[in-house]
């Protein structure tokens, strides 16, 4: 009897100890998992201010003491920065990147498009009504982000994301897409109905080929009187040289966080002041400036970029952490590190910066 009671008590003790140890371990594991997921969620929140244009939606799972990142993102650098965030918080685990990066890959490099309708509403969800974002006009070049049934999600040239019907866009490769960015442009200042029945809405812009010839969205050409449009040549705008001259006056100044004076400037303060000296007023911070203007370049496509356009660069903490002014020939002028300097994004150039080139994500045009 005594031995049976003793055995029962010892067994109960071991069971209690087992549940205590493994219960604590499970609780500790759950706390750790929740903490890691909270860090990742915070990183998504801090990634960018405006999800209408770019977003990052990452989730974390812990598998065998390894953090597996899943979800969607546009850029790898901020995702890589999560590893440093986790290490800083004391979670020095191996990290596997299983994130789906946008845009999706499209067959034959047909990841670009030209709007065919007089106008089409980009919607935040793949629907034909409601969830309005912004309209895209006839002839506007867009970038395809993903395919979804009867819709494409696209990014307009001002940056807004939206779903549009597949019938509203002509899909093209990068070379054809570039034709709608390069050279002179015809900007329509009234509505026009062509003999074919095609309507071109006021505010639309199309490539001007000379002698009244205009390239239409379907790749055909039409001859049209200039009473319907004005011709602009972005490359000939003297404001470009004026902004570069203003920027060069800051050469050699030290980098000063928050600075925008002749004593020192930070990256966005430098850009802001170079434009302000020419009566163009931009927001104060790099990620705010990134919402202004038209997208005119990506790392894989810089053909249409002109001096005076702005470049934006990703960081490990947020999407846009740096900006610079384009000088042409792959060179930029910016304030970074030792101060205002000229560097190149072109390998083999004596002023080439691999770090800067690897962080370049897109360029914008503020004026024509």
List the alpha helices (DSSP H) in the chain. 2-47, 76-88, 174-178, 238-248, 267-276, 286-289, 354-359
Model confidence pLDDT, tens digit, residues 38-82: 988 888 887 765 788 888 899 988 888 889 999 999 988 888 888
Domain assignment present for residue 3? The answer is: no
CATH of the domain at 286: 3.90.1720.10
Q: Are residues 276 and 175 in the same domain?
A: no
CA dihedral 327, 328, 330, 334 (to 10 degrees): 10
Give the mean pLDDT of 133-148: 97
Q: Are residues 284 and 197 in the same domain?
A: no
Domain assignment present for residue 87? The answer is: yes
The number of distinct structural domains making up the chain is 3
Domain assignment present for residue 8? The answer is: no
pLDDT at 18 over 60: no
Q: At what angle do helices 267-276 and 238-248 cross, to 10 degrees?
A: 130
Give the mean pLDDT of 329-349: 97
| Prediction pTM value | 0.87
Domain assignment present for residue 77? The answer is: yes
- pLDDT attached to residue 11: 55
Give the mean pLDDT of 347-368: 96
- pLDDT attached to residue 308: 98
Q: Are residues 286 and 350 in the same domain?
A: yes
Show the domain range for 156.
107-232
- pLDDT attached to residue 243: 98
- pLDDT attached to residue 26: 47
- 213 annotated active-site: no
- 24 annotated active-site: no
- pLDDT attached to residue 198: 96
Domain assignment present for residue 2? The answer is: no
Model confidence pLDDT, tens digit, residues 141-156: 999 999 999 999 999 9
Tell me the pLDDT of the chain averaged across its residues.
Answer: 90
- Catalytic choice (24, 65, 148, 267): 267
- pLDDT attached to residue 25: 46
Q: Are residues 166 and 183 in the same domain?
A: yes
Q: Higher-confidence residue: 2 or 127?
A: 127
- 267 annotated active-site: yes
Last residue of a domain, one of 54, 69, 101: 101
- pLDDT attached to residue 141: 97
pLDDT at 297 over 90: yes
Give the separation between CA 323 and CA 287, rounded to whole angstroms: 9
Domain assignment present for residue 223? The answer is: yes
Domain assignment present for residue 13? The answer is: no
Q: Are residues 265 and 347 in the same domain?
A: yes
- Catalytic choice (65, 181, 213, 334): 334
Q: Are residues 273 and 357 in the same domain?
A: yes
Model confidence pLDDT, tens digit, residues 306-328: 999 999 999 877 789 999 999 99
Model confidence pLDDT, tens digit, residues 164-204: 999 999 999 999 999 999 999 999 999 999 999 999 999 99
């Amino acid at each position: 009897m005594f031995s049976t009671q003793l055995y029962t008590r010892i067994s109960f003790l071991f069971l209690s100890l087992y549940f205590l140890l493994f219960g604590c371990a499970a609780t500790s594991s759950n706390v750790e998992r929740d903490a890691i997921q909270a860090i990742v969620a915070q990183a998504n929140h801090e990634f960018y201010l405006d999800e209408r244009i770019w977003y990052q939606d990452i989730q974390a799972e812990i598998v065998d003491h390894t953090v597996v990142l899943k979800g969607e993102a546009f850029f790898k650098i901020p995702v890589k920065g999560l590893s440093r965030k986790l290490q800083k918080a004391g979670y020095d685990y191996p990290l596997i990147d299983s994130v789906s990066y946008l845009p999706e890959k499209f067959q034959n490099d047909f990841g670009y498009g030209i709007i065919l309708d007089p106008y089409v509403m980009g919607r935040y969800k793949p629907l034909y009504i409601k969830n309005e974002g912004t309209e895209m006009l006839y002839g506007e070049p867009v970038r395809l982000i993903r395919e979804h049934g009867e819709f494409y999600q696209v990014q307009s040239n001002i940056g807004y994301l939206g779903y549009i019907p597949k019938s509203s866009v002509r899909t093209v490769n990068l070379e054809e897409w570039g034709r709608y960015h390069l050279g002179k442009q015809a900007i329509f200042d009234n509505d026009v109905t062509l003999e074919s029945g095609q309507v071109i809405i006021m505010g639309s812009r199309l490539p001007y080929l000379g002698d009244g010839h205009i390239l239409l969205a379907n790749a055909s050409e039409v001859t049209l009187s200039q009473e319907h449009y004005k011709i602009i040549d972005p490359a000939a705008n003297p404001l470009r040289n004026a902004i570069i001259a203003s920027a060069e006056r800051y050469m050699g100044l030290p980098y000063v966080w928050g600075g925008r004076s002749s004593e020192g400037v930070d990256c966005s303060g430098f850009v802001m002041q170079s434009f302000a000296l020419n009566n163009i007023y931009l927001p104060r911070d790099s990620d705010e400036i990134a919402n202004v203007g038209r997208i005119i370049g990506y790392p894989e496509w810089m053909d249409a970029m002109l001096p005076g356009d702005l470049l934006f660069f990703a960081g490990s903490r947020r999407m846009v952490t740096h900006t610079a002014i384009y000088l042409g020939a792959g060179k930029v002028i910016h304030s970074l590190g030792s101060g205002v300097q000229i560097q190149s994004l072109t390998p083999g150039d004596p002023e080439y910066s691999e770090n800067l080139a690897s962080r370049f994500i897109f360029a914008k045009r503020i004026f024509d």
